[in-house]
Amino acid sequence: MLTCTRRIQFCAGHRVHGHETKCKNLHGHNYVALFEAEGELDSLGRVIDFSVLKERLGGWIDDQWDHGFILYRHDFDAIRAVGSLTETKIHLMPTNPTAENMAEFLLKTVGPETLAGTGVKLISVTLWETENCCAKAVLDK
């Protein structure tokens, strides 16, 4: 099997519910996600066209996360505070929106949904929260 990787950037706010220091506050990041897809080569010699990864994965990020707030579904104070703003995009995560949980969510939930029917699957997602810090989720083989 061969792989290809697509880089997608987005901006979003979040907070880490229950965090012991400053990440407990609402704040934002300029995220960079690296999506590594695996599959057989097509007749042109590609795993998948890079524009398909951008359209499907990047489209989901644009719709759900970009320029919005990513909050833990049990973080009622943050949901109430951000929800009081008119026309604010909120995405509720089933887990605390740490870089690790977000990478895993992209790998195990968003990837299979958005890439269905393409013949490829995501095998890893690396999510850069800052230029110095990232988390990587890798599919179990």
Which residues participate in catalysis according to the annotation? Answer: 23, 67, 129
At 9, list the tokens: 């950037």
At residue 48, φ and ψ (nearest 5 deg) are -165, 150
Q: 23 exposed, middle or buried (CB, 10 Å; 0-12, 13-18, 19+)?
A: middle
Are 62 and 10 within 8 A, CB to CB?
A: yes
Residue 93 vs residues 17, 43, 109: alpha-carbon distances, Å: 12, 38, 11
Pairing of strands 68-72, 27-39: unpaired
Calpha distance 127→118 (Å, rounded): 23
